[in-house]
Amino acid sequence: MEGTRPTIADVARAAGVSRTTVSHALNGVGKVDPRTRERVAQVAAELGYRPSLRAQRLRRGESRTIGLVSSMPVAVAGGPSRLGFFMEAAAAAAETALLHGFALVLVPPVEADPPLNTLDVDGVIVVEPGEADVTTNQLRARGLPIVALGRHPGVDVPHVDLHAAAVGRLLLDHLREQGAERIALMIGSGRRHSYVDVEQTYRDFTAERGIRPLVVTADESGGEDAGYKSCLEVLEQEPDVDAICAMVDAFAVGAVRALTDRGRRVPDDVLVATRYDGLRARTCDPPLTAVDLHLGDAAAQAVELLIAGLRSDTEKTEAAVPAPVLVPRRSSLR
């Protein structure tokens, strides 16, 4: 009947073969005579028949979906209107996944642990996992293939390198070039690669110059307020601090607020720079010097790495993005 979607039974009837033969012919499986396969394909095209993708996935035991999971709390991963690090990665990952015929399922940062056991996906990208990351452990226990966006400091899983050490060196060299002599490093309390690698870079940086290191940690779940509190502690302990290098943009915004409340001008009295060049960095007053991490490229590379692993196309376990680029802004320019 006109307007009715043709079924596999319609194709089988018109081609004079069984439904099993139609299925095998259109899906490229089983032993089907080439002439029969061609006839079935022609009849299917004439009738406007399209195989059910859902049925194909069920037969193959795959969902054709991959997940993107944030292991960081919402206070630092989301940002204003949640348009932060996670969503920038999600946009690029979704586009790349779609080009490969996969859908992307987002597990955004939430206050409680996400229900990962109900997640029906073929594999997962975990955004910047920590050393003892609960999310990664749950997914590995299910036997799901995992790719880390940012090196995993705890277990050996395929990953995309975000060049954390190089990012730290860019920021520290810039602050030094702008005249900073007493630079405080502000990192999160967890052990993520972006903290571990940068802290080592910072300690090497200070040792090279004979400077006493000053590392302060902030609670990720506290977001901007945690950065505010940690900055006040720094000012009380080290009043001669003239620069703050914050590895989380939320911490940097909180630090600027604390400096302002204490009558310290940014950048005249204290320089401030952060790692991620996102909405927080651009809308802060003053705008924050940050780093272009090529996050879109990194997310796309993570999808490519995961899908290649699912297809067993490669044994590659690491991908890299272009070198990070400093984006100087008023918060650190004198």
Has residue 18 got a pLDDT over 60? yes
Domain identity same for 120 and 269:
no
Dump pLDDT digits (tens) for 246-264.
999 999 999 999 999 999 9
Give the phi and the psi of residue 104 in degrees, each rounded to 5: -105, 125
Instruction: Note the pLDDT of residue 75.
Output: 65
Query: What are the C-alpha distances in Å from 66 to residues 95, 161, 247?
Result: 12, 20, 28
Instruction: Note the pLDDT of residue 1.
Output: 41
Q: Does a structural domain hold residue 269?
A: yes
Domain identity same for 134 and 173:
no
Reading across the β-sheet that carries 243-246, which strands appear in turn? 215-218, 183-188, 243-246, 271-276, 289-292, 325-327
Domain that holds residue 36: 8-60
The mean pLDDT value for 131-159 works out to: 83
Among 27, 44, 60, identify where a domain stops: 60
Domain identity same for 206 and 282:
yes
Q: Does a structural domain hold residue 230?
A: yes
Has residue 303 got a pLDDT over 60? yes
CATH number of the domain bearing residue 209? 3.40.50.2300
Domain identity same for 45 and 13:
yes
Domain identity same for 183 and 268:
yes
CA 299 to chain centre: 6
Give burial (CB, 10 Å; 0-12/13-18/19+) of 236: exposed
**CA nearest neighbour of 290 among 277, 303, 299:** 277
The mean pLDDT value for 145-168 works out to: 90
Domain identity same for 171 and 154:
no
Global pTM? 0.79
Instruction: Note the pLDDT of residue 76.
Output: 66
The mean pLDDT value for 154-179 works out to: 93
Domain identity same for 266 and 149:
no
Domain identity same for 97 and 177:
no
8 A C-beta contact, residue 276 and residue 292: no
Q: Does a structural domain hold residue 2?
A: no
Domain identity same for 134 and 147:
yes
DSSP assignment string, 88-104: HHHHHHHHHHHHTT-EE
CATH number of the domain bearing residue 55? 1.10.260.40
- Range among 18-22, 111-115, 191-195, 255-259 rated most confident: 255-259
Residue 312: pLDDT band with limits 50, 70, 90:
confident
Among 60, 84, 103, identify where a domain stops: 60
Domain identity same for 169 and 287:
yes
Question: Structurally, how many domains does the chain consist of?
Answer: 3
Count of CB atoms situated within 10 Å of the CB of 97:
24
Q: Does a structural domain hold residue 1?
A: no
HSE on the CB side for 94, CA within 13 Å?
11
Domain identity same for 268 and 196:
yes
Residue 208: pLDDT band with limits 50, 70, 90:
very high
Lowest mean pLDDT segment, chosen from 73-77, 127-131, 258-262, 286-290: 73-77
Instruction: Note the pLDDT of residue 61.
Output: 47
Domain identity same for 253 and 302:
no
Instruction: Note the pLDDT of residue 29.
Output: 64
